[in-house]
Amino acid sequence: AKAQGRNTWHWFEGVATSTSNEYVALRRELMEAIEHEQFVLYYQPIVAADSGIMRGMEALVRWQHPERGFVSPGEFIPLAEQTGQIVAIGQWVLHQACSDLANWNAKMNRRLPVSVNISPFQFRRYGFLEELRKTLDETGLDPELLELEVTENVLMSGVGQGIDTLQKIRQMGIKVSIDDFGTGYSSLRYLRQLPINKVKLDKSFVMDITENTANAAIVQGVITMAHHLGLVVVGEGVETTEQAADLKQRNCDLLQGFLFSRPVPFDQLTATAEAAQSI
Ligand code: C2E
Ligand code: CA
Ligand code: CA
Ligand code: CA
C-alpha cells in the first residue's frame, strides 16, 4: 500500500525485495523524474564550532514528485542505487551543486566550499573521475571548493581500488570527507591509510552526547585521533545548544544541524548565510 500525498515516508518500504509491478512502476517514475528534472537541491550550512560562522554547506537532493509531493532522499536514493539510476541522479546533483556554488560565490564574493554526497555505485563506476573533471571544467568551480562525502563502507570493499580512486580525486585538488563516521565497519586505525580531509561524526553519536557517557567517550576519541591525523571533524545533526557546547568543548571543528539551519533551497541561501554570520 502506497502512502498518499505528502505522507510518502514508507513509500519504498519492501521494494528492495520485490520484483513486483510496484518496483517496475517506481523505476519508471524515477526515470521520468530524471528526464523531467523533478529534482531540486537544498543546502544546509556547516558552521565553525567556535564562532558559528558559516564555513560551507552540504547539498541535499529532494524529489518533487508531481503527485506525491516531496520525497526524501532516504526513500529514493537506496532504490536508485539498486537500479543504477543513481548514476544519472548523481551526475545531475554534482553538476547542479558545482554550478550553484560557482555562481553564488561569484555573486557574493565568497569562497565557500560545497559538499556533495557520492553514493558507492557512483564512486566505483568507471568514468567517475572523468565526470568530476568535466563538471569542474563546465561549471568553473575551483576544485578546492568541492568536497565529496563518501561513507566508510565505500572504501572497505575493495580497499585498494577505493584508495586509488581517492588519491586521484585528491590529486585533482578535490577534498574528501568520510560521512556517517562511526556507523560503518572501519576502525580508527584504518583512517590513517586514507587520503581524506574530514570526518563527519554521525548524528547518532551527537544525538545523546550529553547523556550517554560511552558515546561521549567515542566522540572524544574520534576527535583526538582525527586531529592527530590532521583531519577536520564535523559534528552532524546538532539540534541543541547543549550538543553544540559539548562538541565545541571537545574541540570539534565544524557543526551542522537544525540548531543552525535546516537545509534550504538555493534561493534562500543568501539570507541563511547572512543569518549564520550573526549567530
Ligand atoms: P546524510 O548525508 O547523512 O545527510 C544528513 C541528513 O541529516 C540530511 O537528511 C539532513 O537533512 C539531516 N539533518 C541535518 N541536520 C539535522 C539535525 O539537526 N537533526 C536531524 N535529525 N537530521 C538532520 P536528508 O536530506 O533527508 O538526506 C538523507 C540522506 O540521503 C543523506 O544523509 C544522504 O545519505 C542521502 N542523500 C541526500 N542527498 C544526496 C545526494 O545528492 N546524493 C546521494 N548519493 N545521497 C544523498
Ligand atoms: Ca552527507
Ligand atoms: Ca551524514
Ligand atoms: Ca547518511
Question: For a substitution probing ligand 1, which of 117, 124, 152 has the most ligand atoms within 8 Å of its CB?
Answer: 117
pLDDT digits 0-9 by tens, 155-175: 766 556 788 899 999 999 999
Cell numbers for 229, please give them.
Answer: 591525523
Query: What is the per-residue pLDDT for 187?
Result: 66
Q: Is the CB of 182 under 6 A from ligand 1?
A: no
- Name the nearest CA neighbour of 141 among 179, 200, 174, 98: 98
Average of per-residue pLDDT across 56-73: 93
Task: Between 38 and 68, name the one with better pLDDT.
Answer: 38
Task: Between 152 and 155, name the one with better pLDDT.
Answer: 152
Quote the ligand 2 centre to 211 CA distance (angstroms): 25
pTM: 0.92
Query: What is the per-residue pLDDT for 114?
Result: 98
CB-based contacts of 249, cutoff 8 Å, min separation 6: none
pLDDT confidence bin for 278, thresholds 50/70/90: low
Q: Is the CB of 77 under 6 A from ligand 1?
A: yes
Pick the atom of ligand 1 nearest to 236's CA: 15
